[in-house]
Every structure is written in structure tokens, then in C-alpha cells.
Homo-oligomer: A and B are copies of this chain.
Amino acid sequence: MNKFISGLKFNENGLIPAVIQDSKNGEVLMVAYMNDKAVRKTLETMKAHFYSRSRKKLWLKGESSGHIQKVKEIRFDCDADCLLVKVEQIGGACHTGYRSCFYRKLKDKKGNIAVSGKKVFDPDKVYKK
């Protein structure tokens, strides 16, 4: 067994969260979950794979949109229960068309929100209905 994977701690659902970061500008693009198989497929192909909790299946990021993530580096934290994956993002990471899923920020303590992210594609044109 791969020493890296055998050292990882998956949660009670067999998943480990993965922070996906742009390898060039450091922007945090998304957080998603991998199971053991997704980690293996990511390593094997150097393209990010995840486990979709809603669809309950392995998922190659970009399989519908073409917006794949080319993996440049994989890090893991002190508890070995979280991954940090540095990638080259093709297109945008977010299904809404934004480059990063974190396109909203808290504007004030009352809870008002501001949108501050870069829209890089039109989801209606990318995802077939």
C-alpha cells in the first residue's frame, strides 16, 4: 500500500477534506472531499478526483465542464486528516462560473455579504442541461 495513503486519517464516512489552492497565485479555489479511491486516482493521474457526497460517487473534477485541475503538489497537515492540493486550474473551479468557490465575503458584523470574485465562465454554456 502507498505509504502516503496508509498514513492518512479518513473520517467516519471514509472521507478526507482537500483544500484546493491555485499553485501560482495562492488563491483558495474550493474545498471538497476525497475517499481512499479518489486519493489514489488523483495520485495516479495527477488530476484532482473527489468523492461526491450528494451523488455518492467518485468524480473527476472537470469531467462535465472540462475545467480540470492539474495537480502540482500534495501536502497534508499535522494530524494527517486534511489535504492541501496545489493545482493549475483550467477555467474556473466553481460550478457557478466563478474562478473560486469562495466568491462571497462578509462585509460587516451585521452579516451583510459582498460578492467579490472573478467570473470566468457562463455555467449555462458549460453544463449541458
Q: Please give the residue numbers on chain A whose beta carbons come within 8 Å of chain B beta carbons, in ascending order.
A: 2-7, 17, 19, 21, 25-28, 30-31, 43-44, 73-79, 82, 84, 94-96, 98, 101-106, 109-113
Residues in B with CB closer than 8 Å to A94 are 77-78
> Which B residue sits closest to A98, measured CB to CB?
B78
Q: Which of B26, B84, B96, B111 sits near A102, CB closer than 8 Å?
A: B84
Residues in B with CB closer than 8 Å to A21 are 28
The answer on a CB contact under 8 Å between B77 and A101 is yes
In the assembled complex, the Cα of A73 lies from the Cα of B73 at a distance in Å of: 26
Residues in B with CB closer than 8 Å to A73 are 105-106
Least distance between A80 CB and chain B CB atoms (Å): 8
The answer on a CB contact under 8 Å between B95 and A6 is no
Residues in B with CB closer than 8 Å to A75 are 102-106
